[in-house]
Amino acid sequence: MSVRNIIVTGGAGFIGNHVVRLFVNKYPDYRIINVDKLTYAGNLANLSDIEGRPNYTFVRADICDFDRMLALMKEYEVDGIIHLAAESHVDRSIKDPFTFARTNVLGTLSLLQAARIYWESRPEGYEGKRFHHVSTDEVYGALEMNGEFFLETTKYNPHSPYSASKASSDHFVRAFHDTYGMPTVVTNCSNNYGPYQFPEKLIPLFINNIRHGKPLPVYGKGENVRDWLYVEDHARAIDTVFHLGKTADTYNIGGFNEWRNIDLIKVVIRTVDRLLGRPEGHSDHLITYVTDRAGHDLRYAIDSTKLKNELGWEPSLQFEEGIERTVRWYLDHQQWLDDITSGEYEKYYESMYSNR
């Protein structure tokens, strides 16, 4: 019998596949159930290296389908949930806020209710259970350029439909602890980067565009500042908080690694050009300044001191090493990128699951 049966939602996505892989490899006596709808950002090719493992199961399902979530809780006798499934692209949320509200708010509520009903039906109740909700630093709003950081106690002030939907889901998670006593924990992370990120996001998009000589669209003057966290470090932090974090507590996860967008882009350009054997400055002309995004927050910066002091986690990579690894990975996996940008991977899944 498995020591733990853990559902990871959104496990075929960017951060999710790293969490699934870490848990499958690190905990062979756990059963990891990857629940993913396989929307445009979900790709099972991200997990091809572990798909045959005996402690790994994939289930294609929509977290908004409450009956299905409750059935999965019962079928796999789930005692832990790591909830990563979310719509996460700000530009898409501006164009289609309803989808973000449905997935991020109602999907989270569906999972919470399914977990509550199942766990309360068990003789042991909530003992040994955990609902870990993975959120974002964007719920805190924006910071001025004065050196302040987001703390776990920072007041919520979301500015986009995406961040508003995540803020709402955070509140539901905390409400289920306060109302029902559900053992929950929330983590809020900064911008992630690394292998398997869907190429609508800045770093993989720009790597791919540099490779093909396409424009690099930069919002405004490129002065917006973000804190960047290597995705494998984030997965380690989730592992740490899931097992050791205090119930009903919140932990910020950041890279202590702030960059202005334009400076980050220039590092990416230099790295890609060097690894492709091009002279320095070869792709600088691709930078193209475009009209700034509506409601574009100036600066995000996470203070992860609490996580470091209480649970012993800290980032393992310096940014230069992380970017080098990331760029090399995308250049070495050009077929993966081409399948994504062509849409071939979506056609494959639709044919695979159309008769199920």
Sheet containing 30-36: order of strands = 56-60, 30-36, 4-9, 80-83, 130-136, 184-189, 250-253
Catalytic-labelled residue, pool 62, 79, 87, 138: 138
Tell me the residue type at 40.
Y
Catalytic-labelled residue, pool 56, 118, 126, 162: 162
Catalytic-labelled residue, pool 137, 152, 232, 273: 137
Tell me the residue type at 274.
R
Count Cβ neighbours within 10 Å for each residue of 287-306 and write b for 16 or more, e otherwise.
Answer: beeeeeeeeebebbbbbbee
Three-state secondary structure string covering 129-163: CEEEEEEEHHHHCCCCCCCCCECCCCCCCCCCHHH
- Residue 78: name the closest of 128, 136, 7 by CA: 7
State both tokens at 242.
């899931």
- Residue 239: name the closest of 22, 7, 8 by CA: 22
Q: Judge whether 137 counts as a catalytic residue.
A: yes
What kind and span of H or E run contains 287? strand 287-290
Q: CA dihedral in degrees (22, 28, 30, 31; nearest 10)?
A: 90
**Distance from C-alpha of 227 to C-alpha of 230, rounded to nearest angstrom:** 10
Catalytic residues: 137-138, 162
